[in-house]
């Protein structure tokens, strides 16, 4: 029997796709492997006749595609984001191969929303986009020609996912990581707090936030833990506020 195994909890997110034909071919690749949920961040042309032509029967995937204005909109409700990368990155996120990663994706998708995030045809994910991922995946390729077509990459990943879904055996779920917007809420809160307390005066804020993002991506905090972390931030700000007030008082005296 063909097992879907909650593939409906998995969305494919294509960011800033240039060629509409690739969107259609990706939709066809997805549908053939049992995936149906397509999200498009600022596609250059969509809907488009070329997308429909290449979808070749996967029109329903295109019709139900969600067009988003930002990555955060596309990842709304998502708990695990898997970023596809054509290269080893200079950041400390571990990069795994599809065969190792997709069984984990299937397991998470039993109960949670998962996003598979693909960058543009020319340059892949931006560092900003990759930093939204808790897991990075690289399709091993010929080192002399590692240029996979976008739809071909979607095909390989969807295929691995489908095989993993067929072979899935339920295991005890120990961790209940927080959803994307909760994590982002925390990251914004953290950045704002670090500004307020003057932490960034001797630091490069963007670079520091990237490092902190990585750290929390590895930790995969649960919703309760996010609340605790934000509680700490709130108290920090209040404390800082009290200090400032006292300083002001003393100066005024």
For residue 97 the two structure tokens come to: 């191969």
Binding a second copy (rule: CB under 8 A), the pick from 64, 70, 146, 204 is: 146
Regarding 11 and contact with a second copy (CB under 8 A), the answer is no
* Residue number, 134 or 162, with CB nearest to a second copy: 162
To the nearest 10°, report the CA torsion of 75, 80, 81, 83: -170
Q: For a second copy, which is the closer residue by CB, 85 or 182? A: 85
20-26-32 Cα angle (round to 5)? 145
Give the range of 25-33, 109-117, 176-184, 238-246 binding a second copy by CB under 8 A: 25-33
Part of the chain binding a second copy (CB under 8 A), chosen from 129-137, 160-168, 182-190, 200-208: 160-168
The residue within the footprint of a second copy, chosen from 110, 149, 210, 237 (CB under 8 A), is 149
- The least CB distance from residue 135 to a second copy, in Å, is 19
Of residues 143 and 198, the one with the C-beta less far from a second copy: 143
Measured from the CB of residue 155, what is the shortest distance to a second copy in angstroms? 4
Scored b (16 or more CB within 10 A) or e, 89-127 reads bebebeeeebeebbbebbbbbeebbbbbbbbbbeebbee
Chain mean position to CA 218? 13
Give the pair of three-digit tokens for residue 127. 């560092």
Report d(CA 253, CA 247) in Å as an integer: 10
Binding residues for a second copy (CB under 8 A) = 2, 25, 28-29, 31-34, 56-58, 99, 139-143, 145-149, 151-152, 155-156, 159, 162-163, 166
């Amino acid at each position: 029997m063909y097992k879907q195994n909650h593939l409906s909890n998995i969305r494919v997110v294509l960011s800033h796709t240039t060629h509409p034909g690739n969107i259609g071919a990706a939709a066809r690749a997805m549908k053939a492997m049992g995936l149906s949920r397509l999200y498009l961040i600022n596609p250059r042309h969509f809907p488009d006749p070329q997308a429909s032509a290449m979808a070749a029967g996967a029109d329903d995937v295109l019709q139900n595609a969600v067009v988003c204005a930002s990555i955060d909109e596309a990842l709304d409700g998502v708990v695990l984001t898997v970023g596809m990368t054509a290269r080893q990155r200079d950041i400390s996120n571990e990069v795994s191969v599809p065969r190792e990663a997709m069984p984990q994706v299937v397991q998470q998708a039993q109960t949670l929303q998962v996003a598979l995030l693909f960058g543009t045809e020319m340059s892949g994910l931006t560092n900003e986009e990759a930093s939204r991922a808790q897991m990075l995946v690289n399709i091993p390729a010929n080192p002399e020609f590692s240029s996979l077509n976008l739809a071909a990459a979607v095909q390989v990943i969807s295929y691995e996912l489908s095989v993993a879904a067929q072979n899935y055996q339920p295991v005890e779920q120990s961790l209940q990581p927080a959803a994307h917007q909760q994590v982002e809420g925390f990251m914004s809160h953290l950045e704002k707090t670090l500004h307020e307390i003057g932490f960034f005066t001797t630091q490069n804020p963007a670079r520091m936030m990237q490092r902190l993002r990585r750290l929390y991506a590895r930790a995969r905090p649960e919703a309760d833990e996010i609340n605790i972390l934000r509680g700490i931030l709130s108290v920090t700000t209040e404390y800082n506020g009290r200090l400032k007030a006292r300083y002001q008082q003393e100066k005024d005296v």
